[in-house]
């Protein structure tokens, strides 16, 4: 999974465009992009979309962002969409692994009522939207076997801490948000979940998006969220391993396979140790090799 595109669940037009975007995952949004008065409509629209497109063999993954647990809206969201079998649920404004365990229990009960296999719906978490949440990013490890992704958000966090902005003049995140980004990356890896980078709001600035994607990939993120279909091709291109990267990774794996007891191998006059092997194996897994 490289790209995750947010689509307001109450917009049939945007849902249709999302299907054509090339995104690996569509996030049917019931939260921030939907006005309070439109929540019931958005639930029904998301349910209908899942029922219509879920059986298709050629579709993106379908994820639903529900409303946060403290809003009192989560149960109604889940009641509407679980029986329609989304691939995943995104939990916003999570404050610890306990929130994931709480959502897991809600999903388990509804899967049972719908006659669905337990655990079939996975969970992705937006884990940095409050200051309090920053201090619990180590609690997601072991929180739930459903947890497959961890991402972060700068907009709600900036409101929570009272920041005037979350980006500097050069477009890069300011220090408080770079801290949240780094801790989310560490928390995701510790929890054995996919680290997913946050959105790039300036959707017409594709050069800036590419730069941010490349920096995220460099640091260890393996996917990025999008807010506009035009962002998807850039995200997919950056997070798809190149032929050169695949060849280099395969060379490392092959060298260690030829010397299974070695701690270090020599490839073209350069030394590679076991951490290089781990990195190579992860890249090949992402490339489907």
Q: What is the pLDDT along the chain (289 residues), one digit of tens a residue?
A: 999 999 999 999 999 999 999 999 999 999 999 999 999 999 999 999 999 999 998 999 999 999 999 999 999 999 999 999 999 999 999 999 999 999 999 999 999 999 999 999 999 999 999 999 999 999 999 999 999 999 999 999 999 999 999 999 999 999 999 999 999 999 999 999 999 999 999 999 999 999 999 999 999 999 999 999 999 999 999 999 888 888 898 999 999 999 888 899 999 889 999 888 888 888 888 887 6
Q: How far is Cα 233 from Cα 117, in angstroms, rounded to an integer?
A: 34
In this prediction, residue 37 carries a pLDDT of 96
**CATH architecture assigned to 3-239:** Alpha-Beta Barrel (3.20)
Q: How far is Cα 221 from Cα 75, in angstroms, rounded to an integer?
A: 31
In this prediction, residue 285 carries a pLDDT of 84
Least Cα distance to 45 among 72, 102, 84, 19 occurs for 84
Q: What are the extents of the domains in the chain?
A: 3-239, 243-286
In this prediction, residue 208 carries a pLDDT of 96
In this prediction, residue 91 carries a pLDDT of 98
Q: Read off the pTM.
A: 0.91
Q: How far is Cα 250 from Cα 238, in angstroms, rounded to an integer?
A: 19
Other CB atoms within a 10 A radius of the CB of residue 119 amount to 13
């Amino acid at each position: 999974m490289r790209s995750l595109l947010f689509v307001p669940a109450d917009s049939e037009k945007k849902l249709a465009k999302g299907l054509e975007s090339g995104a690996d995952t569509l996030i049917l949004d019931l939260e921030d992009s939907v006005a309070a008065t439109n929540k019931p409509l958005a639930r029904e629209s998301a349910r209908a979309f899942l029922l219509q497109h879920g059986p298709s063999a050629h579709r993106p993954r379908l994820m639903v962002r529900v409303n946060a647990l403290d809003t009192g809206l989560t149960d109604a969201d889940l009641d509407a969409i679980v029986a329609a079998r989304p691939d995943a649920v995104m939990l916003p404004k999570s404050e610890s692994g306990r929130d994931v365990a709480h959502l897991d229990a809600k999903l388990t009960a509804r899967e049972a009522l719908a006659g669905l296999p337990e655990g079939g719906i996975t969970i992705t978490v937006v884990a940095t939207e409050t200051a309090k949440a920053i201090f619990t990013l180590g609690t997601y490890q072991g929180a739930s076997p459903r947890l497959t992704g961890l991402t972060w958000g700068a907009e709600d966090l900036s409101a929570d801490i009272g920041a005037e902005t979350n980006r500097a003049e050069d477009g890069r995140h300011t220090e408080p948000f770079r801290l949240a980004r780094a801790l989310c990356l560490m928390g995701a890896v510790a929890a054995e979940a996919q680290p997913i980078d946050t959105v790039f709001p300036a959707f017409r600035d594709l050069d800036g998006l590419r730069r941010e994607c490349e920096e995220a990939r460099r640091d260890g993120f393996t996917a990025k969220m999008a807010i506009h279909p035009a962002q998807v091709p850039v995200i997919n291109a950056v997070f798809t391993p190149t032929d050169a990267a695949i060849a280099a990774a395969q060379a490392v794996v092959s060298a260690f396979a030829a010397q299974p007891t070695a701690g270090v191998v020599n490839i073209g006059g350069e030394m590679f140790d076991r951490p290089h092997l781990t990195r190579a194996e992860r890249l090949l897994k992402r490339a489907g090799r």
